[in-house]
């Protein structure tokens, strides 16, 4: 029933642990808001109440329910992470693949663009764009992150492609006069699928951290909540100094466990796939 690849992967402990954590938090973020239907922006609870029966994770200084905030925050942080990483992935893979495949001037000019974007301090770029937009919904934030974090993907995909290009089966397809596009989609990209998936996981963890970073300096979403926004308010109202632990620990823990599980997942995938794709 289970495909053999998955069966092998499930034997790796790191893989099991990281996937369980990611799945658990993701499910909480997706299903949670439907089960716990409290409005995360409503201000009518008593302020700064520690966790109790009525408010399982307590409330913040404005009287907002922190469990509701956390559930919605996970959801929109995941949404931002996913959208941003898909944008980066699309740009990075396209540029890297075309550069590596075409070579010559195409390669040189695409790599120049990539290196310029790579060298730009992306946080500055994000700040500039973010500060320029008065109204920032999650999609905007995802766009800002996605448009600035693709260069390493382009470089990695390009170098992967260079090594695939010298493999004999590519020459075999070429001798059948398959078009460049066909060779790209039939021979190259499928052989990089696992690699691209690893890049995706890394991008996603990076994007969620970047979202929190932007929020912490006041340039996050202006509507709705995200994990970064909860932390922003917690920091603004000095929750750490005042010992309001229920305010900053849950969102911080969620963020850190998501990001580290994704790193862990990507190393376990790397351990599994790299030797298989290299040698065989």
Partner 1 sequence: MLLKVKDLSKTFIVGLLRKKEIHAVRKVSFNIKKGEFISLVGESGSGKTTTSRMILRILKPSSGSVIFEGKDPWALHKIEDLKWYWKQVHGIFQDPFASFNPLYKVDRILYQTFNLLNIESDAEKEHLVKESLKEVGLRPEEVLGRYPHELSGGQRQRIMIARCYLLKPKLIIADEPISMIDASTRAGILKLFSDLRNNYGTSVIFITHDLGLAYYVSDRIMIMHNGSIVEEGTPDEIMEHPKHHYTMRLKEDVPLLYRKWKGF
Residues that bind partner 1 (CB under 8 A): 167-169, 171-179, 186-187, 190-191, 280
In this complex, which beta carbon is closest to partner 1, that of residue 3 or of residue 46? 3
Burial code (b: 16+ CB inside 10 Å, e: under 16) for 35-60 equals: ebebebeeeebeebbeeeeebebbbb
Closest approach of partner 1 to the CB of residue 277, in Å: 9
Closest approach of partner 1 to the CB of residue 168, in Å: 4
Please count the CA atoms within 13 angstroms of the CA of 219 that sit on its side-chain side: 21
In this complex, which beta carbon is closest to partner 1, that of residue 14 or of residue 165? 165
In this complex, which beta carbon is closest to partner 1, that of residue 167 or of residue 223? 167
In this complex, which beta carbon is closest to partner 1, that of residue 241 or of residue 280? 280
Closest approach of partner 1 to the CB of residue 186, in Å: 8
**Cα end-to-end distance, the chain, whole Å:** 25
Closest approach of partner 1 to the CB of residue 183, in Å: 10
Compute the distance between CA of residue 180 and CA of residue 211 in angstroms, rounded to an integer.
38
Residue 210 neighbours by CB distance under 10 Å = 25
In this complex, which beta carbon is closest to partner 1, that of residue 17 or of residue 178? 178
Burial code (b: 16+ CB inside 10 Å, e: under 16) for 183-201 equals: bbeebbbebbebbbebbbb
Closest approach of partner 1 to the CB of residue 161, in Å: 15
């Amino acid at each position: 029933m289970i495909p053999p690849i998955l069966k092998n992967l499930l034997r790796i402990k790191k893989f099991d642990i990281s996937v369980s954590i990611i799945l658990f938090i993701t499910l909480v973020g997706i299903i949670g808001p439907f089960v716990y239907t409290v409005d995360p922006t409503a201000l009518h609870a008593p302020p700064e109440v520690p966790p109790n029966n009525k408010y399982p994770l307590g409330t913040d200084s404005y009287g907002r329910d922190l469990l509701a905030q956390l559930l919605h925050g996970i959801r929109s942080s995941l949404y931002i992470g996913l959208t941003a990483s898909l944008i980066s992935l699309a740009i990075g893979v396209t540029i890297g693949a075309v550069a590596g495949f075409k070579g010559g001037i195409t390669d040189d000019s695409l790599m120049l663009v990539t290196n310029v974007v790579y060298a730009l301090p992306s946080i500055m770029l994000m700040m500039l764009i973010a500060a320029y937009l008065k109204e920032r919904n999650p999609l905007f934030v995802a766009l800002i992150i996605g448009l600035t974090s693709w260069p390493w993907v382009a470089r990695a995909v390009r170098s992967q492609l260079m090594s695939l290009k010298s493999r004999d089966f590519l020459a075999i397809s070429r001798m059948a006069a398959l078009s460049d596009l066909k060779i790209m989609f039939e021979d190259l990209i499928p052989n990089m699928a696992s690699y691209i998936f690893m890049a995706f996981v890394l991008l996603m963890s990076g994007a969620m951290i970047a979202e929190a970073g932007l929020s912490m300096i006041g340039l996050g979403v202006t509507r709705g909540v995200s994990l970064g926004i909860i932390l922003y308010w917690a920091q603004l109202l000095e929750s750490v100094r005042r010992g309001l632990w229920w305010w900053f620990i849950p969102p911080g823990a969620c963020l850190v466990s998501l990001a580290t599980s994704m790193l862990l997942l990507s190393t376990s995938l790397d351990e599994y796939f790299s030797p298989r794709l290299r040698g065989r």
